[in-house]
Structure 1
Amino acid sequence: MTTESRRLPLPEVPSAEAFRAFFETVELPAALCDTRLHLLLCNNAFARFCFDHGLTVEQMMEGLADARVPEDGAACVVEVPLPQGGVVVMELARRGESVSVVGRRESELMRGQLVVVEQALLEQARTEGVLLDLGRSVAEAGSEEELVASVARGVKELFPGRSFCIRIIDARTGGLTSLYAEGRLKEGSREPLVLKRTAVEKMHLTAESIPAGKVVVAALVPLLFESSTGGVSAPLVASGQLYGVINLEYPSSLREEPDPMQDERVLVQLANQVAVAVKNAKLIDELTFVRKYLEELLEKANALILVANRDKKVVVFNQAISRLTGFSKEEVLGQDVFTLVPEDEHMRLASVLAAAMRGEAVPNFELRLRTRMGEARASFATSSALASQGEVEGVMAIGQDVTVVAQLEQRVIHAEKLASMGQLAASVAHEINNPMTAVVAYSESLLQRAMMMGSAGAADSEKLRKILESGQRILRFTRDLTSYARPAKDKVERVQLNALLDKAVGYCEHVVAQAKVKVERDYGELPPLHAVPANLEQVFVNLITNACHAMKPGGQVWLRTRREGREAVVWVKDTGSGIEPTNLSRIFEPFFTTKMEGNGTGLGLSIVQRIVEKHGGKLSVESELGQGTTFTVRLPLAD
């Protein structure tokens, strides 16, 4: 035995029209009853038989009412009294829950017909009983595996001693989804499915409904099992779609002579029933898949999705809104939707729900939601009505957390303010530069004259020297600031990295002095690299500034460079307090910052990372609480 499966269910039992037609052609008076001798059906010969003996069919059955019903598989003779005297002899034979009743006539020919009728009645009753049981069992099947197993039990009971194979396919692709075989299959007989041409024509199957390459139509169906002497098959067809095939074959070890025509008639009845069940099961599977897919989309969507029914109970609460509020789905489902908003929002929410229940869409409204911590956070959403058969069943609200949007807007505004202040600072530096140039020139002239004429004392000369040095320092600072603030040109040049680092330190001279820290340098021999100098200066100014801000007075910043293969590596290390592990993974996110409000935008490291990657390099960070932080910049060297 071979079994394979995936999924399905089933109903419905076929009619016995073929048997009824045969039943009417029999000359013997015959009827079929249940085990209480209640009439189920009779032929015209039986009605004439009753009339010939002065009885109606109902009177004949009343005469049998007290008769003893034989045991299953046995038969007996019953005499029914006639109104005019005498008796009529009736033969009763039982098979399962069915009893055949035949009026006896004294003739060998009639006796032979009696046997044929009895056998036909009992066999038909047995077939219908099996099909009825099969209909019930497949209707209760919870999977394709269970359904195929139920069909296999029915085939065994209907066709004892036969080999058989049940194959279910996907109607669209023709791919095999289930296979059950009773007997030893030949090598390579699983696929493709072979259908008899006459059966295809009889079922009105079109070429479009037969998957190419997976199903073959032929005049004869090849035998699937080893040692088979013959067989029949029936395709599983419902609503013009092919769902599989059942093959029934006669092994050489079969004792009785098979009746292929009768077997095919019963097999077609069975196949029709199974095909409808498979179709229903496939539809159920597709609907289940679509429903689960839509539920998954709602659950995993980045938008906030909330659905409330007509009773204002929450029926959908997706992951995004669960993260926002801190409440789990299990806590919220089935609860009143008003529990999710502060009390002062109840009236506004009620008006939105009322409008949506009337079928009116309510776009662009803001609502504050409660969170697990009790704080109300702003939410932006639209709502729409869910309707079924013209009746509104609930309300769906889709939105986003505008709290985060508002924070991002504030940070962007702050970043723009800083950019404006940077431009203002550059303008101020330019204005300072002109008078300071005069201060430096005149102090230098005075100092030179004093030294040449010896008219100034040592103290005065020292004061003039300090004026000159301070003026030169201010000029250098304003020049560097103006240069740094000037929009960078994306012109790639050959850059000496060590010299560029020294320039960046110069830019940070004021920050270093204010933080009261020291900068230590350990430069290795580096060949030039191709880069936009102003952009790399921005990288190292940012890293050095961050290092200064992370330390207490007395700390140290180490700048170390080395060549590693085809890369120049720069380490910027500080002796600060380190970065929390939870923050380390977010350190390069735009707008993420651990500084106090107004002390940073959270954009610096994000920009630094983008610049490094634009140069074909990599930026990484390592940090340990209490031990400091090290940023590593790797840049490709020039060829």
Structure 2
Amino acid sequence: MDTFVERRKANRRTHERRGTDDKPEDTKSESERRQSDRRRFERRESERKKMEEAMREHAQKRRVILEDIEEAYYEADINGRFVFVNNAMCNILGYAREELIGQKYWYLLDKPTAKTLYAAMDKSCKTNETVNLLDMEAIHKDGKKLISETSVSIVRDTEGTIIGFRGISRDVTKRRQMEAALKKNQEELIRKNKEIDENRKHIQHALEKLEKTHEELKTSQLKILQQEKMASIGQLAAGVAHELNNPMSFISSNLGTLDKYVRRLIGFIETQSEVIKSFKDASAARKINEKRKALKLDYVINDVNGMIRESLDGSERVKRIVKELNSFSRMDEEEYKEADINECIESAITIVWNELKYKSTLEKNYGKLPLTKCYAGQINQIFVNLLINAVNSITERGIITIKTWYQDGSIWMEVSDTGCGIPKENLVKIFEPFFTTKEVGKGTGLGLSITYEIVQRHKGEITVKSEVGKGTSFTVRIPVV
């Protein structure tokens, strides 16, 4: 009841004040105006105090909340002195609250970081926005450097005047250390991977070199075997030539003597026949003529001359073969001297004629060639290899053509065949050692490789053209020396 009465009295007093205040200014007395101004000032001051109190209460509540967060929170005045720090900031920096309050913030920072923070506050003042800073460095009480992510904003009073700034920081030292360690490990891993790649390349290079060396060694071994084989064949050829040479000497001599004797006998028989025809005893002449016909002496006389000529030709051919065998057996011992290339080709044809005659028709088109210095036996070997290749490419019967000519200071030689031809993909490989399209055991794959080396030794070149189903043509050029 008393409260109600007091409330009504208060309301009446308020109404009376309002009634006085509501009077027009020109009707108020001086004292009334001063009283009205004082009441308005008191109301504004009361409202300001209430607002400040409310703000203090709000700030106090906010600080109570901020005490329990994990991030470091601080407030500083316009001079940069800390006016509030939470527990997290004290824990992170290692200081007691009393040590930080009133302390200027830049004592906890190095100069570059202090400048960065000052620039951030200046930016926040101009933009009235929060500024985020990454990797801010602070100094722990024990001197260790700390790394933090910080957000900075300005603090204003009720009238909007800047009175300081606030910030919230998260300690990322361990994370940055882990990131740095991870980056270092990644860089180390990248470096190791590069080393591994380099080592792998070196190993691969070494393996390729080793494989190449192995192939070269294999090639050398097989070439040595081939050379030994050729040497054995040469020794055999020399032996055969020697064994043939002795009997062929007296066979040729006897055939020559036999030819003379037969001519004498034929001459005697012819003279005898003329004498018998002059006899007056016709019956005796008739008997002799009948006997002559029965024995076919006329046919024998004609045939024996042909047989002797063929035998002499055969003996001459055997002599030629023996000569070529002797030449072949001395191929590795020959000198670098002048030779007739056409004669070298003829020598090669003699060696392989038994291979050629059954499957091919040989056509020769020799040009007029100057003499040139060369290893004649090796030139023979070139054509032995090319002719054997040519005849092996012919399945039933074909034509092998040999052509030589002189042009631009070089001797040109061409061996063509009408065989099966060489596939395009094999043309680039035919001069490689051991490359062969023959069945296993039927070829070493060294013939054309040796041919290529011999041509290179004579500072020449060898080329090939081929079309499957039509044939192949090898062209050799060696300079005249």
Q: Per the shorter chain, which TM-score range? A: 0.5 to 0.7
**Which of these residues, 357, 360, 371, is aligned with residue 517 of structure 1?**
360
1:461 aligns with 2:305: yes
In 2: Cα distance, 1:422 partner to 1:539 partner: 16
Amino acid at match of 1:450: V
Relative to 1, partners in 2 of residues 1:597 and 1:431: Cα closer, same or farther, differing over 3 Å? Answer: farther
Relative to 1, partners in 2 of residues 1:465 and 1:499: Cα closer, same or farther, differing over 3 Å? Answer: closer
In 1: Cα distance, 2:379 partner to 2:184 partner: 67
1:578: which partner in 2?
Answer: 421
1:533: which partner in 2?
Answer: 376
1:293 aligns with 2:136: no
Relative to 1, partners in 2 of residues 1:600 and 1:482: Cα closer, same or farther, differing over 3 Å? Answer: farther
Relative to 1, partners in 2 of residues 1:437 and 1:488: Cα closer, same or farther, differing over 3 Å? Answer: same
Relative to 1, partners in 2 of residues 1:472 and 1:598: Cα closer, same or farther, differing over 3 Å? Answer: farther
**Which of these residues, 569, 581, 591, is aligned with residue 434 of structure 2?**
591
Larger Rg: 2
Q: CA deviation at 1:290?
A: 0.8
Secondary structure, in 3 states, of the residue corresponding to 2:195? helix
Is the CA contact 2:405–2:411 (under 8 Å) kept in the aligned structure 1?
yes
Is the CA contact 1:415–1:601 (under 8 Å) kept in the aligned structure 2?
no
Q: CA deviation at 1:633?
A: 0.8
**Which of these residues, 624, 627, 632, is aligned with residue 475 of structure 2?**
632
In 2: Cα distance, 1:293 partner to 1:426 partner: 58
Relative to 1, partners in 2 of residues 1:553 and 1:426: Cα closer, same or farther, differing over 3 Å? Answer: farther
Relative to 1, partners in 2 of residues 1:439 and 1:572: Cα closer, same or farther, differing over 3 Å? Answer: same
Q: CA deviation at 1:572?
A: 0.9
1:385-400 paired onto structure 2 within 5 Å: none
Relative to 1, partners in 2 of residues 1:599 and 1:279: Cα closer, same or farther, differing over 3 Å? Answer: closer
Is the CA contact 2:73–2:89 (under 8 Å) kept in the aligned structure 1?
no
**Which of these residues, 425, 433, 436, is aligned with residue 237 of structure 2?**
425
Q: CA deviation at 1:543?
A: 1.2
Q: CA deviation at 1:517?
A: 1.5
2:286: which partner in 1?
Answer: none
Cα deviation digits, residues 191-243 of structure 1 (max 9, x gap): xxxxxxxxxxxxxxxxxxxxxxxxxxxxxxxxxxxxxxxxxxxxxxxxxxxxx
Q: CA deviation at 1:578?
A: 1.3
2:327: which partner in 1?
Answer: 483
Q: CA deviation at 1:293?
A: 1.4
1:92: which partner in 2?
Answer: 84
Relative to 1, partners in 2 of residues 1:562 and 1:505: Cα closer, same or farther, differing over 3 Å? Answer: same
In 2: Cα distance, 1:423 partner to 1:584 partner: 35
In 2: Cα distance, 1:554 partner to 1:66 partner: 109
1:505: which partner in 2?
Answer: 349
Is the CA contact 2:233–2:329 (under 8 Å) kept in the aligned structure 1?
no
1:84-163 paired onto structure 2 within 5 Å: 91-92=83-84, 114=102, 117-118=104-105, 120=107, 132=135
Is the CA contact 2:331–2:378 (under 8 Å) kept in the aligned structure 1?
no
1:446: which partner in 2?
Answer: 258
Relative to 1, partners in 2 of residues 1:586 and 1:118: Cα closer, same or farther, differing over 3 Å? Answer: closer
Secondary structure, in 3 states, of the residue corresponding to 1:562? strand
In 1: Cα distance, 2:480 partner to 2:229 partner: 37
Is the CA contact 2:74–2:89 (under 8 Å) kept in the aligned structure 1?
no
1:231-270 paired onto structure 2 within 5 Å: none
Q: CA deviation at 1:539?
A: 1.3
Q: CA deviation at 1:274?
A: 12
1:342: which partner in 2?
Answer: none
Is the CA contact 2:422–2:472 (under 8 Å) kept in the aligned structure 1?
yes
Amino acid at match of 2:408: G
The count of corresponding residues between Structure 1 and Structure 2 is 328
In 2: Cα distance, 1:473 partner to 1:540 partner: 20
Secondary structure, in 3 states, of the residue corresponding to 2:430? coil
Could you say which structure has the higher strand fraction?
A: 1
Gaps of 5+ in 2: 1-62, 118-131, 139-148, 153-176, 270-299
Q: CA deviation at 1:575?
A: 0.9
2:401: which partner in 1?
Answer: 558
2:293: which partner in 1?
Answer: none
Is the CA contact 2:85–2:97 (under 8 Å) kept in the aligned structure 1?
no
Relative to 1, partners in 2 of residues 1:411 and 1:636: Cα closer, same or farther, differing over 3 Å? Answer: closer
Q: TM-score, normalised by structure 2?
A: 0.54
Is the CA contact 1:495–1:531 (under 8 Å) kept in the aligned structure 2?
yes
Amino acid at match of 1:541: V
Is the CA contact 1:580–1:625 (under 8 Å) kept in the aligned structure 2?
yes
In 2: Cα distance, 1:623 partner to 1:67 partner: 93
1:176-215 paired onto structure 2 within 5 Å: none
Cα deviation digits, residues 493-548 of structure 1 (max 9, x gap): 233333332333233333322x3312212233433332122221221222122212
Cα deviation digits, residues 544-577 of structure 1 (max 9, x gap): 2221222244311111223342322211111111
Aligned sequence identity (%): 28
Relative to 1, partners in 2 of residues 1:528 and 1:432: Cα closer, same or farther, differing over 3 Å? Answer: closer
Secondary structure, in 3 states, of the residue corresponding to 2:333? coil
Amino acid at match of 2:316: Q
Q: CA deviation at 1:69?
A: 9.1
In 2: Cα distance, 1:463 partner to 1:488 partner: 39
Q: TM-score, normalised by structure 1?
A: 0.42
In 1: Cα distance, 2:388 partner to 2:181 partner: 76
Relative to 1, partners in 2 of residues 1:134 and 1:526: Cα closer, same or farther, differing over 3 Å? Answer: farther
In 1: Cα distance, 2:420 partner to 2:464 partner: 14
In 1: Cα distance, 2:66 partner to 2:327 partner: 120
In 2: Cα distance, 1:74 partner to 1:469 partner: 126
Is the CA contact 1:69–1:92 (under 8 Å) kept in the aligned structure 2?
no
Gaps of 5+ in 1: 1-63, 78-89, 105-112, 136-153, 159-271, 306-319, 321-399
In 1: Cα distance, 2:265 partner to 2:369 partner: 49
Amino acid at match of 1:466: E
Is the CA contact 1:578–1:624 (under 8 Å) kept in the aligned structure 2?
yes
In 1: Cα distance, 2:350 partner to 2:66 partner: 121
Relative to 1, partners in 2 of residues 1:552 and 1:440: Cα closer, same or farther, differing over 3 Å? Answer: farther
Relative to 1, partners in 2 of residues 1:457 and 1:428: Cα closer, same or farther, differing over 3 Å? Answer: same
In 2: Cα distance, 1:594 partner to 1:121 partner: 86
Amino acid at match of 2:329: A
Amino acid at match of 2:257: S
Relative to 1, partners in 2 of residues 1:607 and 1:133: Cα closer, same or farther, differing over 3 Å? Answer: farther
Amino acid at match of 1:532: Y
Amino acid at match of 2:83: E
In 1: Cα distance, 2:191 partner to 2:418 partner: 62
Q: Is the deviation greater in 431-440 or in 551-560?
A: 551-560
Amino acid at match of 1:428: V
Secondary structure, in 3 states, of the residue corresponding to 1:561? strand
1:472 aligns with 2:472: no
Secondary structure, in 3 states, of the residue corresponding to 2:432? coil
Q: CA deviation at 1:286?
A: 3.2
Could you say which structure has the higher helix fraction?
A: 2
Relative to 1, partners in 2 of residues 1:436 and 1:276: Cα closer, same or farther, differing over 3 Å? Answer: same
2:54: which partner in 1?
Answer: none
In 2: Cα distance, 1:610 partner to 1:587 partner: 13
In 2: Cα distance, 1:617 partner to 1:130 partner: 78
In 2: Cα distance, 1:411 partner to 1:551 partner: 27
Secondary structure, in 3 states, of the residue corresponding to 1:600? coil
Secondary structure, in 3 states, of the residue corresponding to 2:364? strand
Secondary structure, in 3 states, of the residue corresponding to 1:587? coil
Relative to 1, partners in 2 of residues 1:601 and 1:419: Cα closer, same or farther, differing over 3 Å? Answer: farther
Amino acid at match of 1:624: E
